[in-house]
Structure 1
Amino acid sequence: MIRKLTMLLLLFLSINSYAQEDAWVYFIDKPNVSAALANPITILTQKAIDRKQNHNITIDVRDVPVNEVYIADLKTQSGITVMAKSKWFNAVHVRGNEIDINALDALSFVDFIDFANNNLDAASRTAAIEDFVDVEDESIVFDYGDTQNQVEMVNVDNLHLDDFTGEGLTIAVMDSGFQNVNTMGAFQRLRDNGDLLGGYDFVDRTADVYANTDSSHGTRVLSTMAGYMQDEFVGTAPDASYYLFRTEPVATENPVEESYWVEAAERADSLGVDLINTSLAYRVFDNPNYDYTPAEMNGQIAYISKGASIAKEKGIVVVVSAGNYGNSTWETVGAPADSPDVLSVGGVDANGNYVSFSSRGSSAQVGYQKPDVVARAGNTYVVGQDNSITQNDGTSFSGPIICGSIASLWQAIPEASPSEIIDFVIQSSSQFNVPDDFLGYGIPDFALARSLALSLDENLEQNFRFYPSPTKHTLNIKMPLTISSAELSVFNQLGQEVLQQSINEGMQTINVSDFAAGIYIIKFSAKNTSETFKFIKQ
C-alpha cells in the first residue's frame, strides 16, 4: 500500500511539474523608438556605440529596450511568472500553465506566443534550443608550462611574442559558474590589470556572479583564455578584458536558459564587447516535450541560435563550443553552434587528431560547414576552482582556446571587421580547401591568419580586395581608399556575364549562392582604373 501511494505521489509530482509550461511572449511595439535612435547614448554605452561605428553596424530598433510597462502588466496576470526579457526579439520568457499563458494573447500589446513545447502552439514554432555543460615594444616571452601544446597547436604563441596578447579587446563569457575567479591566484594578473570587469548572474538575478558555487565550469573555461601562473600556465589571451555572465543552472535543463543567454548577449552588446565565448549547447530538456532533434540543428529553429545570429549582426564575434555528442546517437552540433553566423569549435587531441566525442557537422546544416574549426579538447589543461592545474575533456575548452586566440589576432589587426577576422581564421586553417564534418576547416594557424591580413593591407591604397576564395555563399569586396565608386562585373568560364552592379566605398558583399561551382572572373572598373581577378565558387 505504501509503495502504491509513493508511486502515485511521484506520478502526481511529475504531472504537476509538467503543468508549468515555458513560452516566449512577443510584443507588438516598443516605446520612444525614434527618440532613442536619435540619441543612442540613452540606450547603449559609448564603447558599444564606438564599436558599431567602427564596423559600420547600424543602431536599430532591436537596440531599444523592451517596454517595461508591458512587462509590469504581464506580471500582474494570473499564474504568470516573467523569467527573462529580450530587446532583440522584443519578447519575454514566461512560465505558467497553458491556459494562463494562452490568455495573454488577449492583451492588446501581445503580438504572438511561442511555446517551448511546440505541440502547444497554434502554428509550428520558429524558435528552439538546448544546453549542456561539458565535463569538460619588447617581445613577451612566456613559459607556457602545461598549456604549451594547446597554445602552440594554433600558433598563437607567435602573436604573443610580438606583444599581441588580447590587450584592448573585451570578451563576454557565458557559462554556468565562476567559482573563486575573484580570489584565485590564476586570475591575479587579470585582477591586478583591471581586466576583470565584473558581470551578472542572470539565473539568480544578482550582480554577484561569483556567489553561486554549484559549478566551476566557467572558471575552467575562463582559465584557457585568461589564466596565468608563472612558468606553469598561460591562456591564449591573458591581457584581454572579461565580463562574466552566468546563464546556466546545472541542476536543471529548461528553455529559459536560452532566454538568459540572449539577455546576457544583449547586455554584452550594450557594454561594447568584441567577442562572446559560450561553452554551452542546447539539445534536450528535463521535459521531453521541449526536446530538439538533430534535424532541427539548422540555425533557424533555436531561440539561442537566432539570438547568436543577431549578436553577429551587431558586430560581435561569437565563438561556441561544438558539443560532446560525436560518439552518441545525436552526433551533430547543438545550439547555438548550429548557427551559420557563429564560429563553432570542435576538438582534437594533443597530436591534432579528431577526438570521438567532438560533435560533427550533418545534413541539417545546409550550405555551410560545422564545425568551423578545431583546437585541443582531449585532456586539455585547465585551472580548477581550487587553483590547481588539471586536465579535462570537452569542446568546452577548445572553444575558448580559439576565442582567446582571436582576441590576440584582432589586437594585431585592429582595422579588420568581425567578418574579416573570421575569414582570416578559416583561411589559415589546416584543411581549408578540403573541409569535412569532423574537423571542419581544421586547426587554425593564427600567425598565418595575421600574415594573410597584412598581405592584403600592404596594397590597401592601390588595389581592390575580395575574399574569401573559395567561397560558397558570399564574396566580400573592399575598394581602395582612393576610389569612391566602381562597376563590378562577374563572368563565368564561357565569358558570359552573370552579374553586374555598382559598388560604393567601404565594404560590399555580393551573394554568389546561386552560382554554379567553378572559376569566375571578377572585373572592377572605376574612372581611372580597371582590375581583373579570379575567384572560385565551391
Structure 2
Amino acid sequence: MKHYYTFLLLVFSTVMFSQEDAWVYFKDKPNSQHFLDNPSEMLSARALERRTNQNISLDLADVPLEETYITQVKSATGITVMAQSKWMNALHIRGTQTDIKALKLLSFVDKVVFADKTLNTTGKKVSENKIAQTKDKLKTSIDYAYGNSANQIQMLNGQVLHQQNFTGSGKIIAVIDAGFPGVNTAQPFQNLITNNQILGGYNFVARNDNFYSGDDHGTMVLSTIGGYKENALVGTAPSASFYLFITEDDATENPVEESLWVEAAERADYFGVDIITTSLGYFGFDNANYSHTYSDMNGITNFISRGAEIAFSKGIIVVASAGNEGNTAEPHIGGPADGVSVITVGSVTAAKVKSTFSSIGPSFDNRIKPDVMAQGTAAVVSDTNGNITTVNGTSFSCPIMAGMIACLWQAFPTKTNKEIRKMILQSSDKYAAPNNNYGYGIPNFGGTLGVEDYQTTLSVFSVYPNPAQTTVSFKFSEENYNASVKIYSVLGQKVIEKHITNQDPILSVASLQSGLYFYAFDADGLHKTGKIIKQ
C-alpha cells in the first residue's frame, strides 16, 4: 500500500510540477497613446521612413509592452520569462502548470496558451499524429569541392540585375539563423567587414552581443548573399548590408525558438530592415506534446508564422526556406513557411528539377506553397574557414532568393513589399499553372526589368557621366523621343522629376548632395532603372 501511494505521488508530482512552456497574452497597452504620439521612442528613423514610403500607419502592435506587466509576471512564483513580443502583446514563459495557470488571476492578463495544446482544452489527446522532432537547418550535405556560383545566379537571370549595378546597395537584410562563426575572420566575408556592411546583430539564445558564434549554418547562409571570393563565390546581393540574429538553439528544439524568432523580427523592424531571410523551420519539437501538426500549417496558428505576417504588414519582405522533409512521411512545409505573405522558397537542382528533399505544399488551408524555387542542390557557399564548398538544402535556396530580391528592390526603390512580391511571382516560369511541388516556379529577375539580355540593350541606352558632378545625360533610341526621368534618394524619396527628349537629354543634379541616388527612366516601350553617384 505504501509503494502504491508513492507511485501516485510521483505521478501527481510529474503532472503538476514539471516545467511547461506557454504564452501569456496581455489585455492592453495602457501607455499606447504616448508612444503613438512620439513614434521615435519606439522605432528608428529608417523604420518610420519605410512605413511612410509604403503608406503604412502606426498601430498598437508597434507600441512596446507595458513594463509593469512584465515586472509582475517576472516576480510571479515559479515563472521564468523566456522571450517577449510587442507585436503579440505577449510573453513566452516557463513554469509549472499550477504557476502558469495562476497568472490568469492577474487583472491585465487576457489569456494563457500552453505550448502543449492538450493543456488548453479538457486534457483529451488530439487524434492527429505529431511528427518526430526535426532540425531543418542541419539537414544539409557538404562535399569539399570548389565550385562556381554562377549557375545559382544565372538560373534566376540575376546577372541582368548585377550587370546594371543592382547588387543590393542601400538595402538591409536581417539573417535570422543559428550562428555566424567565422564571418568576422574568413576571407569571403572580408568585403562585408571592410565596407561596414555588417551593421550589427544579437544572440537571442545567449542574450549577448556575441553573434559571431553558434552553429555554422548561418555563416553558410550569409555567404550565398554577401560572400565574395574571386572566381569561386559571388553572393546574390554582395552590396547589401546585414543584421545577424541568432534565435536557433542548436542544443534543443523547443517552441521558445519561435518566440525568439519573433523577437528578432521585431528588432529587425526597429532597425528598418527591408528583408528578413530565415532558413529555419519548425514542425516537430523534442517534447512531442509541443509538436505541430499539418493542420497547424494554415498561416494563422503558429506563433512564428503570425509574427512573419505582422513583419510583412510593417513593409518587410519575409523569405523562408520551404524545409527539407520532401522524402519523409510528413513532406509538407513547416512554420514560418506556411505564412500567407511569406515568400517560401523550395529547392531545385542545377538542371531546374525539384530536389527530392524539398518540402511540398499546399498549406493546410490549400494555398500554393512553396511560392518560388531556386538552386538548393549543390549550392555554392563558404564555410567558417573560407573554404568554398557545395551544400544541399532549402536553407540555401532561400537566401539565394533573398539576395536577388534585394537587388530587385534596389532597382525599383519606390515599390512596396506587396508590389515586389507580386513582381517576383508573376515573373516565375509556372505562374500560369502553379503546383505544390514548384509553386509558381523559378523567377526571372531579368524579366522584371523588361530585359532578357542586357547586352542587346546596352547600345541603345546609357547614362553618363556617372559619377556626375553637375549634370547627367541620357542616351536612348530615337524611337523613344520623349521620356520621363525621376531621381530618388536611397530612402526612396523622389528628389527630381523631369521630362527630357533626344534633343535635350541633360538633367541637372547640381542641387543634390553628394551620395548615391537611383533613377527611373520611362519612355514608350523602354523602362530603365539604375543608380547615379553624385560627387
TM exceeding 0.5 = yes
Shorter-chain-normalised TM-score: which range? 0.7 to 0.9
Report the equivalent of 1:160.
162
Is this contact kept in 1: 2:31–2:66, CA < 8 A?
A: no
Q: How does 1:314-333 map to 2 (within 5 A)?
A: 314-333=314-333
Identify which range, 144-153 or 241-250, moves more after superposition. Answer: 144-153
What stretches of structure 1 of length at least 5 have no aligned partner? 1-7, 137-143, 463-480, 482-538
Q: How does 1:132-143 map to 2 (within 5 A)?
A: 132-136=136-140
The residue identity in structure 2 corresponding to 1:68 is: E
- Rounded Cα–Cα distance in structure 2 between residues aligned with 1:82 and 1:193: 38
Q: How does 1:160-309 map to 2 (within 5 A)?
A: 160-210=162-212, 212-213=213-214, 215-309=215-309
CA-to-aligned-CA distance 1:88-139 (integer Å, 9 cap, x gap): 0000000011111001111111110010001111489xxx998631433xxx
- Rounded Cα–Cα distance in structure 2 between residues aligned with 1:196 and 1:347: 27
Q: Tell me how far 1:328 sits from its aligned partner.
A: 0.5
Report the equivalent of 1:64.
63
2:439 maps to 1:440: yes
CA-to-aligned-CA distance 1:295-328 (integer Å, 9 cap, x gap): 3211121000011000010100000000001110
The residue identity in structure 1 corresponding to 2:344 is: S
The residue identity in structure 1 corresponding to 2:67 is: E
Is this contact kept in 2: 1:225–1:235, CA < 8 A?
A: yes
Q: Tell me how far 1:422 sits from its aligned partner.
A: 0.7
TM-score normalised to structure 2 length? 0.78
- Rounded Cα–Cα distance in structure 2 between residues aligned with 1:36 and 1:268: 19
Q: How does 1:35-74 map to 2 (within 5 A)?
A: 35-74=34-73
- Rounded Cα–Cα distance in structure 2 between residues aligned with 1:409 and 1:83: 37
SS of equivalent to 2:390: strand
Report the equivalent of 1:22.
21
- Rounded Cα–Cα distance in structure 1 between residues aligned with 2:72 and 2:383: 44
Is this contact kept in 2: 1:130–1:255, CA < 8 A?
A: no
- Rounded Cα–Cα distance in structure 1 between residues aligned with 2:17 and 2:378: 38
SS of equivalent to 1:166: coil
Is this contact kept in 1: 2:333–2:363, CA < 8 A?
A: no
- Rounded Cα–Cα distance in structure 2 between residues aligned with 1:336 and 1:155: 27
SS of equivalent to 1:257: helix
Q: Tell me how far 1:443 sits from its aligned partner.
A: 0.7
Cα 1:71/1:374, change in 2 over 3 Å: same
Cα 1:117/1:412, change in 2 over 3 Å: same
Report the equivalent of 2:374.
375
- Rounded Cα–Cα distance in structure 2 between residues aligned with 1:415 and 1:263: 28
SS of equivalent to 1:75: helix
Is this contact kept in 1: 2:236–2:403, CA < 8 A?
A: yes
2:102 maps to 1:100: no
Is this contact kept in 2: 1:362–1:437, CA < 8 A?
A: yes
SS of equivalent to 2:318: strand
The residue identity in structure 1 corresponding to 2:243 is: Y
Report the equivalent of 2:488.
none
- Rounded Cα–Cα distance in structure 1 between residues aligned with 2:422 and 2:108: 42
SS of equivalent to 2:446: helix
Is this contact kept in 2: 1:413–1:450, CA < 8 A?
A: no
Identify which range, 275-284 or 144-153, moves more after superposition. Answer: 144-153
CA-to-aligned-CA distance 1:409-453 (integer Å, 9 cap, x gap): 111111111111011111111111111111111111101122299
The residue identity in structure 1 corresponding to 2:217 is: H
- Rounded Cα–Cα distance in structure 2 between residues aligned with 1:442 and 1:374: 6
Report the equivalent of 1:151.
153
The residue identity in structure 1 corresponding to 2:443 is: P
Report the equivalent of 2:389.
390
Q: Tell me how far 1:231 sits from its aligned partner.
A: 2.1
Cα 1:99/1:365, change in 2 over 3 Å: same
- Rounded Cα–Cα distance in structure 2 between residues aligned with 1:25 and 1:131: 27
CA RMSD of aligned residues (A): 2.6
The residue identity in structure 1 corresponding to 2:198 is: L
Is this contact kept in 1: 2:104–2:112, CA < 8 A?
A: yes
Q: Tell me how far 1:40 sits from its aligned partner.
A: 0.4
Q: How does 1:504-519 map to 2 (within 5 A)?
A: none
Cα 1:16/1:228, change in 2 over 3 Å: farther
Is this contact kept in 2: 1:18–1:287, CA < 8 A?
A: no
Cα 1:16/1:173, change in 2 over 3 Å: farther
Q: Tell me how far 1:26 sits from its aligned partner.
A: 0.5
Report the equivalent of 2:503.
none
- Rounded Cα–Cα distance in structure 2 between residues aligned with 1:222 and 1:252: 23
